[in-house]
């Protein structure tokens, strides 16, 4: 069952990557549909593996815990303008598919991948100065503590974060099968 869930999760991330790179958008049908399917799949998988309604509840709770972890952490980053809300919903769906406890290292791997992809993107496009300026603007706004509005992400220098989500999720899935890859 894990291989099926992991395959569905990676396929979801791959489709999101393609749409995000093409249009800087991740459709709700993909993110919310992926979230619903991840929750349902894990409830059914729990019922099959552990037998009956208790297993279904355990599978659903593990999927909800993963979805909440990734959704809430990246939701806070989305509210601050660091990632788009499509990315937040995609990460909630990823959390539902990966479940607790794999969602925890996935949080680390997606974050690390985001930093690496962002740096590569900035260097390759000659945007490092603009990216550092954007980070400084966000930091100034955060330090000003203005709850009336969130920092706005500059529109000229957007990064399709689904690339990092795919890379980090793929690494997290790989650690499930190859323990030598684990960072935590």
Question: Is residue 149's pLDDT more than 80?
Answer: no
Structure tokens at 33: 């549909």
pLDDT, tens digit, 9 for 90 and up, residues 78-100: 988 889 999 999 999 999 999 99
Q: What is the pLDDT of residue 156?
A: 46
Q: What is the pLDDT of residue 121?
A: 85
CA distance 98 to 161: 19
The percentage of residues in the chain with a pLDDT greater than 70, rounded to a whole number, is 90
Is 53 buried (19+), middle (13-18) or exposed (0-12) by CB count in 10 A?
A: exposed
């Amino acid at each position: 069952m894990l291989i099926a869930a992991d395959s569905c999760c990676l396929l979801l991330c791959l489709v999101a990557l393609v749409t995000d790179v093409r249009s800087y958008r991740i459709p709700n049908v993909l993110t919310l549909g992926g979230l619903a399917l991840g929750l349902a799949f894990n409830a059914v998988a729990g019922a099959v593996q552990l037998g009956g309604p208790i297993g279904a509840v355990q599978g659903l709770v593990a999927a909800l815990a993963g979805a909440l972890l990734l959704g809430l952490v990246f939701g806070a980053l989305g509210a601050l303008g660091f990632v788009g809300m499509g990315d937040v919903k995609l990460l909630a769906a990823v959390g539902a598919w990966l479940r607790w406890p794999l969602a925890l290292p996935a949080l680390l791997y997606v974050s690390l991948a985001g930093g690496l992809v962002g740096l590569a993107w900035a260097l390759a496009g000659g945007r490092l100065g603009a990216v550092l300026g954007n980070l400084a603007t966000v930091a100034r706004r955060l330090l000003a503590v203005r709850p009336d509005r969130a920092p706005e992400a500059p529109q000229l220098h957007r990064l399709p974060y689904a690339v990092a989500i795919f890379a980090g999720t793929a690494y997290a899935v790989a650690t499930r099968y190859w323990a030598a890859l684990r960072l935590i």
